[in-house]
Amino acid sequence: MNVSEIRKDFPVLSQTLYNKPLIYLDNAATTQKPIQVFEAVEEVYKKYNANIHRGIHYLSELCTTKHEDTRQYIADYINAASSNEIVFTRGTTESINLVANGFAETIINKGDEIIVTEMEHHSNFVPWQMLCKKKNATFVVLEIEEDGSISIEKLKCLITEKTKLIALTHVSNVLGTINPVKEVTKIAHQQEIPVLVDAAQSIQHMKVDVKDMDCDFMAFSGHKLYGPTGIGVLYAKEKWLEKFPPYQYGGEMIQNVSIEKTTFNKLPFKFEAGTPNYIGAIGMGAALKYIEKTGIDDIVKYEKQVYDYAVEKLSTIDNIQIYGTSKERISVISFNIEGLHPYDIGTLIDKNGVAVRTGNHCAEPLVHHYGINGTTRASFGLYNTKQEADMLVKSIIKASGILMNN
Ligand code: PMP
């Protein structure tokens, strides 16, 4: 993988901040975008922008075709059985809320149980917590192990005949832990329990195959995979989408409307009320094509080298604690330096051009597990380098020196 060539595709990376080269290590929050995505978006606006699905004119038909081709491309990319299983949403959060709404309407009753893990992003925690509250169901949280992994044995102990869903993240946005989702679906399906996988932090870093994982639902966001904001995907097996009622009502999602009654459109349009974000969808398709062209196997290999290097170098810093030490980790490193506030570290290294995230990373139950309120988080993408990891370490050492002496 030629990273210096790749970096040329991402114009934002070549700037300086405070007279220092930008070192962008906040990829878990959002990624930068390659020119190929801008070009795809620009092409729609310049050449064939028109509202989709309803027009009979040339532009509308062309735009509809490009949009639906993107849906098919995404279905193929994740190895879905059909493009009917791909619902466009605003992002991971909306995808999960859509499923939670379906469960609320059709499946969950008083006394039922939903299992999540302690390492979930609030997006895959609060919707289930609220659903359980509303339905008098039980919200069950699988505690994590000290190394930031989950124990399959402990999960097995939590499953009962009342369990109606297991929702877990593929990769933790705080620890970088890769969860054994395939093993989870296997165990869950033995008892006919569906599994939802939050792939917000995995699809851009590894091969994700829904047939191989055998998950029932999977959610991800365009903006975390080098694509635009405001677009994401819910993958769901057709049997579930057939069962669920619409999530929102309006144009597009109907078949016929009369004063007496409304019938709904076929899949997946039943879940896409209103004018779809076709520009975003086409942009997200271009981002996935960029990943595919670069080669996911090469990305995995390259990112692992940079990640392992960064972990090794960070570990040499005095009084640093890195959270999450399980063997299967990628992209994300969360840490604290004893006696220093993550916010202070983040603010000072920003002055060196290093962009990281500080705080609880929308995963309060997880950070509380470690008895802390937050961490500093560096998260890597396909364009980051070992030299940037070195600069991160250097900046932290410098910042620590300043803060210790104050
Ligand atoms: N899940 C995980 C694991 C995440 O990292 C994030 C974003 N930080 C989300 C869900 C929510 O994604 P979005 O804000 O794009 O809906």
In this structure, the residue with its CA closest to atom 12 of ligand 1 is 92
Question: How much is the pLDDT for 397?
Answer: 97
Ranges assigned E (strand) in 38-148: 86-89, 113-117, 138-142
- Cα separation, 166 vs 184, whole angstroms: 8
Please give the DSSP secondary-structure letter assigned to residue 282: H
What are the catalytic residues? 362
- Tell me which amino acid residue 222 is: G
Question: What span, in angstroms and rounded, lies between the C-alpha atoms of 22 and 269?
Answer: 42
Q: Is the CB–ligand 1 distance for residue 198 below 6 Å?
A: yes
Q: Where in the sequence is the domain holding 13, given as residue range(s)?
A: 3-30+295-404
Domain shared by 266 and 129, yes or no: yes
Is the shortest distance between the CB of 201 and ligand 1 below 6 Å? yes
Q: What stretch of H or E contains 364?
A: helix 364-369
pTM of the predicted model as reported, rounded to 2 decimal places: 0.98
Choose the final residue of a domain: 292, 318, 349: 292
Mutate-to-test residue for ligand 1 from 93, 220, 361, highest number of ligand atoms within 8 A of CB: 93
pLDDT at residue number 406: 75
Tell me: do 286 and 350 sit in the same domain. Answer: no
CA of 260 to the centre of ligand 1 (A): 40
Indicate if ligand 1 lies below 6 Å from the C-beta of 117: no
Question: Shortest CA distance to 185 belongs to which of 153, 141, 217?
Answer: 217
Clarify whether residues 139 and 263 are in a common domain. yes
Residue 196 pairs in a beta bridge with 167, 217
Distance CA(20)–CA(2), nearest Å, equals 23
Pair 320, 280 in one domain:
no
CA–centroid distance, 198 to ligand 1, in Å, is 8
**Contact present, 116 and 145 (Cβ < 8 Å):** no
What crossing angle do the helices spanning 386-404 and 296-315 adopt, rounded to 10°?
A: 30
Q: Give distance in angstroms: CA of 200 to centre of ligand 1.
A: 5
Which has the closest alpha carbon to 166: 148, 152, 145, 146?
A: 152
Residue nearest to atom 6 of ligand 1 (CA): 200
Q: Is residue 97 lining ligand 1, measured as CB closer than 6 Å?
A: no
Residues 309 and 229 in one domain: no
pLDDT value at position 90?
98
What is the distance in A from the centroid of ligand 1 to the CA of 277?
A: 19
Are 325 and 282 found together in one domain? no
Report the separation in Å between the CA atom of 379 and the middle of ligand 1, taken as the mean of its atom positions: 14
Residue in the structure block whose two tokens are 């390659």: 34
List the chain pLDDT tens, one digit each, 406 residues: 999 999 999 999 999 999 999 999 999 999 999 999 999 999 999 999 999 998 899 999 999 999 999 999 999 999 999 999 999 999 999 999 999 999 999 999 999 999 999 999 999 999 999 999 999 999 999 999 999 999 999 999 999 999 999 999 999 999 999 999 999 999 999 999 999 999 999 999 999 999 999 999 999 999 999 999 999 999 999 999 999 999 999 998 999 999 999 999 999 999 999 999 999 999 999 999 999 999 999 999 999 999 999 999 999 999 999 999 999 999 999 999 999 999 999 999 999 999 999 999 999 999 999 999 999 999 999 999 999 999 999 999 999 999 988 7
- Partnered with residue 169 across adjacent β-strands are 198
Ligand 1 atom nearest residue 362's Cα: 8
Claim to verify: residue 183 and residue 107 sit in the same structural domain: yes
pLDDT confidence of residue 54: 81
Q: Are residues 350 and 250 in the same domain?
A: no
Pair 187, 222 in one domain: yes
Residue 123 in contact with ligand 1 by CB distance below 6 A: yes
Regarding whether 41 and 24 lie in a shared domain, the answer is no
Predicted pLDDT at 52: 96
DSSP-derived pairing of the beta strands 138-142 and 163-169 = unpaired
What tens digit of pLDDT does each residue of 262-297 get?
999 999 999 999 999 999 999 999 999 999 999 999
Radius of gyration of the chain (CA): 22
Domain boundary among 292, 325, 358: 292
129 shares a domain with 18: no
CATH of the domain at 102: 3.40.640.10
Domain boundary among 292, 312, 346: 292
Candidates 78, 380, 340; CA nearest to 232 is 78
- Whichever domain contains 320, its CATH number is 3.90.1150.10
Assess whether the C-beta atom of 121 lies below 6 angstroms from ligand 1: yes
Ligand 1 centroid vs 256 CA: distance in angstroms? Answer: 35
Total domains in the fold of the chain: 2
Q: What is the pLDDT of residue 118?
A: 98
Among 123, 174, 208, which is best to mutate for testing ligand 1, by the most ligand atoms less than 8 A from CB? 123
DSSP string, 132-183: HHHHT-EEEEEPPPTTS---HHHHHHH--TTEEEEEEESB-TTT-BBP-HHH
331 lines ligand 1 (CB under 6 A): no
Helix (H, G, I), strand (E, B) or coil at 91: coil
pLDDT score, position 59: 96
Query: Are 48 and 23 within one domain?
Result: no
| 378 touches ligand 1 (CB under 6 Å) | no
